[in-house]
Amino acid sequence: MNPIPRFGLLVIGDEILSGKRQDKHLSRFIELLQARGLALAWARYVGDDRALITDALRQAFAGSDIVFSTGGIGATPDDHTRQAAAAALGVELTLHPEAKALIEQRMREVAAEQGVPFEPDRPDNVQRLQMGVLPIGATLIPNPYNRIPGFTCRGPGGGVVHFLPGFPVMAWPMAEWVLDTLYPHLHGLARLCERSVIVLRAMEAALTPLMERIEAQFPGVKVFSLPSVDHPQYGRHIELGVKGSAEAVEPAWRALLEGLRAQGQALGPELVR
């Protein structure tokens, strides 16, 4: 059986790293994936630095993950993602004919809304076509908001990157289209069951050998420990649990509880997610 592909997220933009804007993509992409029984394996923030973006994309293309990249695909001087993608793949940029048609259609619609004639040779309209200059071999992602497409590129290592605008109103429905159109066969494959218990006044060092034993005994199950020192209800405690597929979690969960009771640990409420 082929392993379930991992999903990653690249959030690109100086405005996120400088604090001018708060990132909304991470929490939303976690939700989009979880709603389809999938999970986000990693996320990375990169500023508007072409060399850094190229390096991040080169790593993504060389791997085997499915990656969403948000931001930097416009046509202003601080947008570097299209150029970085081409550099990471070692290919040229070219005006994608379908992207050109979509952008021109959008420009015609805007001209009609403004009651002015469409002038394709006007400098600002010519500049807008730069948003359709994509790495050779790119395929398009439809944009229901304003027709300006995103795009997908595949690397020689099997990694695939889906490039989306930085605007959530565009990026999120485009990401849903990608997940539901290109990856419906993956839906549900990474759906996890999680069971945990509050261990009162516990110390992680005392629980570590049990955690290691559970992971070694039950492959495919992850043990997690979430300590708290000042909880208003439980005081100092550790939420200790296991997560994985439902069939794998149940025997691991029973073994974890048995181990805690054998240690004489004081247990609080049990949690199921």
What CATH code would you report for 7-186?
Answer: 3.40.980.10
Could you tell me where the beta strands, DSSP code E, fall in 142-221?
A: 150-154, 160-164, 193-200
Each residue's pLDDT tens digit, 106-137: 999 999 999 999 998 899 889 999 999 999 99
- Confidence tier at 60 by pLDDT (50, 70, 90): very high
Q: What is the mean pLDDT of residues 148-170?
A: 96
- Confidence tier at 192 by pLDDT (50, 70, 90): confident
| 157 touches 150 (CB < 8 A) | no
- Confidence tier at 146 by pLDDT (50, 70, 90): very high
Q: What pLDDT score was predicted for residue 246? A: 83
Q: What pLDDT score was predicted for residue 191? A: 81
Tokens matching residue 88: 């990471």
In this model, does residue 1 exceed pLDDT 60? no
Tokens matching residue 219: 């492959």
Q: What is the mean pLDDT of residues 212-229?
A: 94
Each residue's pLDDT tens digit, 238-267: 999 999 888 899 999 999 999 999 999 999
CATH match of 193-272 with 1.10.10.60 = no
This prediction's pTM: 0.86
Q: How many angstroms separate the Cα of 250 from the Cα of each of 11, 191, 193, 254, 267? A: 36, 15, 9, 6, 18
Q: How many angstroms separate the Cα of 221 from the Cα of each of 138, 257, 267? A: 38, 15, 21
In this model, does residue 2 exceed pLDDT 60? no
| 268 touches 234 (CB < 8 A) | yes
Q: Which residue has the tokens 């993950």?
A: 65
- Percent of the chain topping pLDDT 70: 99
| 260 touches 253 (CB < 8 A) | no
Domains of the chain, residue spans = 7-186, 193-272
Output the average pLDDT for the chain: 94
What type of residue is 241? G
Q: What is the mean pLDDT of residues 173-201?
A: 94
Q: How many angstroms separate the Cα of 41 from the Cα of each of 33, 57, 83, 92? A: 10, 16, 26, 30
In this model, does residue 5 exceed pLDDT 80? yes
